[in-house]
Amino acid sequence: MDKDINITVKVWRQKGPKEKGHFETYELKNISQGSSFLEMLDILNEQLINEGKVPVVFDHDCREGICGMCSLYINGHPHGPDEDITTCQLHMRKFNDGDTITVEPWRSAGFPVIRDLMVDRTAFDKIIQAGGYVSVNTGGVPDANSIPIPRHDAEAAMDAAACIGCGACVAACKNGSAMLFVAAKVSQFALLPQGKVEAARRAKRMVAKMDELGFGNCTNTGACEVECPKNISITNIARLNREFLKAKFKD
């Protein structure tokens, strides 16, 4: 049964991308363990507003684990101490009475801080714009069964497409690498016939854009896979490397 707990929250406060940030500590009392983590932050902000203080800025939208915007680094884990969830799906029952909870933004050169806990994740949009789509003229809509696709390939493509672009992989990586994200977006097309026409151009452009935007290199530690809320496999990184090398050989 859920109960009320008293907690201490250490929150990263930063006025802008060029400002120096710092932690501020807040005491919260009688927080229901049935509350979500974001609801707890809402309560904190209401308390701050009532005290005449500036509320904490954090990103959120759907609060259903779909949009990937709730990008918080909680007690040393992207999206918090629970597995296979986004921050908005994290509940306070994961914490105990008297706990101190440390909340930080994603930390990566590719994700500059906008304010407090909100980071600029438009770098992912730019990587998608570089090649994460199918643009060839396919004519009319074909019959669903006219292009046979092996079940294994279809399921692998759907698993890769489950990536919501939240950035947890980047936050978990010691190098701030976006390889798992890029690999997932390349894989979802590389496995299907519709994506093979532009496969070489896609792999080269997306990797080049990733490097240009300041993301680090992959060292295959697997931290990205462990922290991914959608269980995207690092086998996709191997597929991305194959697609990239094939594109280079064609050149």
Percentage, residues of the chain above pLDDT 70: 97
Determine the Cα–Cα distance for residues 117 and 136; give it in Å rounded to an integer: 39
Determine the Cα–Cα distance for residues 81 and 87; give it in Å rounded to an integer: 10
Mean pLDDT over all residues of the chain?
Answer: 94
Q: What is the pLDDT of residues 12-27, one digit of tens each?
A: 999 999 999 999 999 9
Determine the Cα–Cα distance for residues 204 and 184; give it in Å rounded to an integer: 15
Looking at residue 143, what is its pLDDT? 74
Fold of 121-250: Fumarate Reductase Iron-sulfur Protein; Chain B, domain 2 (1.10.1060)
Whether residue 172 contacts residue 78, with contact meaning beta carbons closer than 8 Å, is answered with yes
Higher-scoring residue by pLDDT: 8, 196: 8
Q: What is the pLDDT of residues 58-89, one digit of tens each?
A: 999 999 999 999 999 999 999 999 999 999 99
Looking at residue 250, what is its pLDDT? 79
Q: What is the pLDDT of residues 124-173, one digit of tens each?
A: 999 999 999 988 665 676 676 778 889 999 999 999 999 999 999 999 99
Domain parsing of the chain, residue ranges: 4-104, 121-250
Higher-scoring residue by pLDDT: 197, 117: 117
Determine the Cα–Cα distance for residues 115 and 56; give it in Å rounded to an integer: 9
Percentage, residues of the chain above pLDDT 90: 87
* Beta bridge mates, 10: 25, 102
Looking at residue 241, what is its pLDDT? 95
Class assignment of domain 4-104?
alpha beta
Determine the Cα–Cα distance for residues 15 and 114; give it in Å rounded to an integer: 8
Looking at residue 138, what is its pLDDT? 59
Looking at residue 117, what is its pLDDT? 98
Looking at residue 167, what is its pLDDT? 97
Looking at residue 197, what is its pLDDT? 87
User: What angle separates helix 179-190 from helix 199-212, to the nearest 10 degrees?
Assistant: 170
Average confidence (pLDDT) over 1-6:
89
Residue 194 pLDDT grade (very low, low, confident, very high; cuts 50, 70, 90):
confident
